[in-house]
Structure 1
Amino acid sequence: MPVGAVRGGSRHRSPGRSAIRHGALAAGLTGSALALVGPAVIALPDQDPQGAATTLELSAQGAALAGPSSSASGARSAVAPVSGPGTSAASADLIKATERDRAADAATAREARARAAEERRAQQAAQERAAEQERTASVTNCGASGSYGGVADSVQEVGNAMECVFPGHDVLGVGSRGGQSDHPDGYALDFMTTSGDAIADCIVENKDELGVSYVIWDQRINTGSGWEGMEDRGGATANHEDHVHISFERGGSPDVSALRSCK
């Protein structure tokens, strides 16, 4: 029967053509479904120096995989070392605090050393004062108390101290002397000895402290500018060969502790 013929009053379409149309529709739906799950390609401007196109592929599968990856990355970030401006400031503060502690420790150590040095100096000074007092006592407290015929108090003080330093000598004071002399006024002493070098040198070395004006010994005189020879007066006593003569300033205030250097 020809295509399109009516059998039994009904018109039938060709089954082949209808099948083709249904197949095409199915194919189209399937293609659309595949298009939804397939990768979409977006072409970006050419940025490759070699001229290759840069593409960005977005897909459902890629997006699905991105979730866990991002979570894992976030987890890694959570345990990553903390860094940044805040941590740098904290580190700087810690370093400064450490430096301050070290500086404080160094200052404390310096202060301790300074105190120890000061204590040593104080102890040494106390020992020196004690030794000085002992030496001074040795030239003032030996028991000598002669007045030497009534000399001035300052002269007697020196004479008594000299006897402590150079004991065993006769000491003469006030007396008549031929010619000009300080003896009659009580401002001269004679230490009788034929070995008077040490006595003469001690008095000269401490001349200012003892209030001495000049010393004569062994036919020489010393007024503070060195020894000078004297004329021969005709005898051992006149030439001061048997005694050391000491003349004193008027109104002197002697410091007999200076005689410690002669002991």
Structure 2
Amino acid sequence: MPEGAVRGASRHRSNGRSAVRHGAVAAGLTGSALALVGPAVIALPDTADEAATTLELSAQGAALADAPSAGPARSAVAPVSGPSTGAASADLIKATERDRAADAAVARQAQARAAEQQRAQQAAAEQERTASVTDCGASSSYGGVADSVQEVGNAMECVFPGHDVLGVGSRGGQSDHPGGYALDFMTTDGDAIADCVIDNKGDLGVEYVIWNQRINTGSGWEGMEDRGGATANHEDHVHISFERGGSPDVSALRSCG
């Protein structure tokens, strides 16, 4: 073969191999491109309805993705009470009950203190009233009358001073004087004394009063028969008869002063 022909054939073979290499490279690139787009092509919907649904979901997804975030996501589900919530409620109820019990205890203590203070004030007032009718120094026993009668007699002398007071003594007829349960306040102006004793009859342990020819047992004044003289008709003294075993409260006499 001529040398020129040999060189031409050699170039032809070289060009052929180059073309093959270029073709293989091109084929490889095309295959890679198809591999990249292949899944997208395979994922396309088969029908028009599926395509519409896919497009609608895609649009919604895009809208949600483009929407600005308003903060942490909030659950639309209402909180469900569990053991911890129930325990907290029970603790709150117990605390409220304890507070109410404590308030009630404080109120009871305040009431007790107020009641005690009131009793103390009443006792002090009672002592003051008693002192006002016993601090004049009268101490006569009136001939040995009963202790309760002496107590009333001494207190009445403080309220109505300046009178002779007679107690135990012999009297004609039926009388409480010999037994020590009667007093005579000698006066010709005994209305105030008689009224005071009747008004406080229960407190003083008095049974009845005779004054100015009248008698009062607690139901009002009643006239008596004429016994023939001022002393016999109790016109010069107020007679006071007392109950046996009495326990007088002489502080009542304070209203008579």
What TM-score do the two structures reach when normalised by structure 2?
Answer: 0.64
CA distance in 1, matches of 2:112, 2:187: 48
| Correspondence for 2:154 | 160
Q: Secondary structure at the match of 1:221?
A: strand
Note the 1:1-263 alignment, pairs <5 A: 36=42, 38-41=44-47, 57=52, 59=54, 79-81=73-75, 83-86=77-80, 105=99, 108-263=102-257
Deviates more, 1:218-227 or 1:76-85: 76-85
Give unpaired runs (5+ residues) of structure 2: 1-37
CA contact (8 A) 2:45 2:51 kept: no
- Structure 1 203/109 Cα, relative in aligned 2: closer, same or farther at 3 Å? same
Structure number with greater CO (CA < 8 Å, separation at least 6) is: 2
**Offset at residue 110 of structure 1 (A):** 4.8
- Structure 1 89/195 Cα, relative in aligned 2: closer, same or farther at 3 Å? farther
CA contact (8 A) 1:177 1:183 kept: yes
CA distance in 2, matches of 1:101, 1:37: 65
Alignment coverage as a number of residue pairs: 220
The aligned amino acid for 1:40 is: D
CA contact (8 A) 1:135 1:260 kept: yes
The aligned amino acid for 2:173 is: G
The aligned amino acid for 2:171 is: R
1:209-253 CA distance string (max 9 Å, x none): 433221101221012322211123343333222221011234444
CA distance in 2, matches of 1:150, 1:58: 128
CA distance in 2, matches of 1:34, 1:71: 21
Q: Secondary structure at the match of 1:86?
A: coil
Q: Secondary structure at the match of 1:186?
A: coil
Give unpaired runs (5+ residues) of structure 1: 1-31, 44-54
CA contact (8 A) 1:39 1:57 kept: no
What TM-score do the two structures reach when normalised by structure 1?
Answer: 0.63
Bigger strand share: 1
| Correspondence for 2:27 | none
Give identity over the alignment, percent.
60
**Offset at residue 134 of structure 1 (A):** 1.5
- Structure 1 33/192 Cα, relative in aligned 2: closer, same or farther at 3 Å? closer
CA distance in 2, matches of 1:119, 1:149: 47
**Offset at residue 126 of structure 1 (A):** 1.1
